[in-house]
A and B are shown apart, each in its own frame.
Chain A
């Protein structure tokens, strides 16, 4: 299956991402509401970016991040905060996610301020995201918000790249074996 990975740059790309996000944000956390979804879109536009993957011209998933964390008012600009990852269920065992992470890593390596740390957040009940993040980073804690219990993960950027390489290689070998 062929995927096309791109980064939101133009208004049209941001509109397309926003449509996809509003349609699917509750898959990430059913407790979220339209207000929180719009806040996230504004945050990614102002402080970060979005890499999205398309299959046959339709968005199939995305990785959205901010440079700096909301808790630090985005002043910790050597930390990248992965705020949202949504991959449609039918593409979760494809190479889409790996291509997305590859584009993200390439983008961060070219960042103006060198990235040293990667920070992830997932609502506890989202098994898919927690399983993914725990392979890429170390769980650092849990906290309660109005939108449920959240798990936090963190790792250094070079370690994130190393783990990505390992996962990616394993994925390639699985594909070769036909699983």
Chain B
């Protein structure tokens, strides 16, 4: 049984960081090293890490986000920016995705957020995946290149995750068994 938790002590945060660093070849992030480390730093100082462990307590998935945005200098805590989300391939056809989104929705509400934003490389696969639960906003030119931005209200995200959990449907990339 996989279990999602909010990283609350140094050991959990270290495990989440080490998990992401060790999966660097699979992350498909369009960012250079310093942007990845900068994103992890921002999430330690301005946000949270969600970590999913398997029954042996090995990390299998991580979601990294900030409360507030770079543009709003992190005062706009109603917006939550998901900077990195990753699950090991073998866990992508499981309930892990829905549980992770459900915990993310709870956490966003707990910190006073009402909107979740995701950034991805502009690829058709990601557009299909994120288009299932978030609205495409814009393609932006950042230092690391072009990034697609998606946005979803927490109420809509809660409805989506509840539907996933109820129906047991599958979505591309991350799927729900």
**Do these two chains really belong together in a complex?**
yes
Residues in B whose Cβ lies below 8 Å from that of A33 = 10
Q: How far is the CB of B156 from chain A (nearest CB, A)?
A: 32
Asked whether any CB of chain A lies closer than 8 Å to the CB of B28, the reply is no
- Of the listed stretches A16-24, A61-69, A72-80, A152-160, chain B binds A16-24
Residues in B whose Cβ lies below 8 Å from that of A95 = none
* Interface secondary structure of A, over-half rule: helix
Please provide the chain A residues from 16 to 62 with a CB less than 8 Å away from any CB of chain B in the complex.
Answer: 18-19, 22-23, 26, 33-35, 38-39, 41-42, 45-46
Q: How far is the CA of A22 from the CA of B32 in the complex (A)?
A: 19
Chain B: which residue is nearest A19 at the CB level? B21
Please provide the chain B residues from 5 to 57 with a CB less than 8 Å away from any CB of chain A in the complex.
Answer: 10, 13-14, 17-18, 21-22, 24, 32-34, 37-38, 40-41, 44-45
With A34-B10, A45-B37 as known contacts, state yes or no: A15 contacts B44, CB within 8 Å.
no
Please provide the chain A residues from 103 to 118 with a CB less than 8 Å away from any CB of chain B in the complex.
Answer: none
Q: Which of A23, A35, A46 contacts B18 (CB 8 A)?
A: A23
Please provide the chain A residues from 146 to 179 with a CB less than 8 Å away from any CB of chain B in the complex.
Answer: none
With A15-B21, A19-B21 as known contacts, state yes or no: A35 contacts B44, CB within 8 Å.
yes
Q: How far is the CA of A14 from the CA of B38 in the complex (A)?
A: 13
Q: How far is the CB of A108 from chain B (nearest CB, A)?
A: 23
Contact assessment for A38 and B33 in the assembled complex, using a CB-CB cutoff below 8 Å? no
Interface 1/0 per residue, A126-154 and B, CB below 8 Å: 00000000000000000000000000000
Contact assessment for A41 and B37 in the assembled complex, using a CB-CB cutoff below 8 Å? yes
Q: How far is the CA of A23 from the CA of B22 in the complex (A)?
A: 12
Q: Which of B13, B14, B17, B34 contacts A46 (CB 8 A)?
A: B34
Residues in A whose Cβ lies below 8 Å from that of B37 = 18, 38, 41-42, 45
Q: How far is the CA of A155 from the CA of B21 in the complex (A)?
A: 36
Contact assessment for B21 and A35 in the assembled complex, using a CB-CB cutoff below 8 Å? no
Interface size on B, residues (CB 8 A): 17
Chain B: which residue is nearest A41 at the CB level? B37
With A33-B10, A45-B33, A45-B34 as known contacts, state yes or no: A22 contacts B41, CB within 8 Å.
no
Interface size on A, residues (CB 8 A): 17
Chain B: which residue is nearest A10 at the CB level? B33
Residues in A whose Cβ lies below 8 Å from that of B40 = 38
Q: How far is the CB of B10 from chain A (nearest CB, A)?
A: 5
Q: How far is the CA of A91 from the CA of B146 in the complex (A)?
A: 45
Residues in A whose Cβ lies below 8 Å from that of B41 = 35, 38-39, 42
Residues in B whose Cβ lies below 8 Å from that of A14 = 33
Chain A: which residue is nearest B42 at the CB level? A38
Asked whether any CB of chain B lies closer than 8 Å to the CB of A11, the reply is yes
Q: How far is the CA of A64 from the CA of B177 in the complex (A)?
A: 47
Q: How far is the CB of A89 from chain B (nearest CB, A)?
A: 19
Q: Which of A19, A22, A39, A42 contacts B34 (CB 8 A)?
A: A42
With A35-B45, A39-B41 as known contacts, state yes or no: A18 contacts B21, CB within 8 Å.
yes
Contact assessment for A19 and B22 in the assembled complex, using a CB-CB cutoff below 8 Å? yes
Q: How far is the CA of A35 from the CA of B37 in the complex (A)?
A: 11
Contact assessment for B21 and A34 in the assembled complex, using a CB-CB cutoff below 8 Å? no
Q: How far is the CA of A42 from the CA of B33 in the complex (A)?
A: 10
Residues in A whose Cβ lies below 8 Å from that of B32 = 11
Q: Nearest 8 pairs between A and B by C-beta?
A: A11-B33, A38-B41, A34-B13, A19-B21, A14-B33, A35-B44, A15-B24, A22-B17
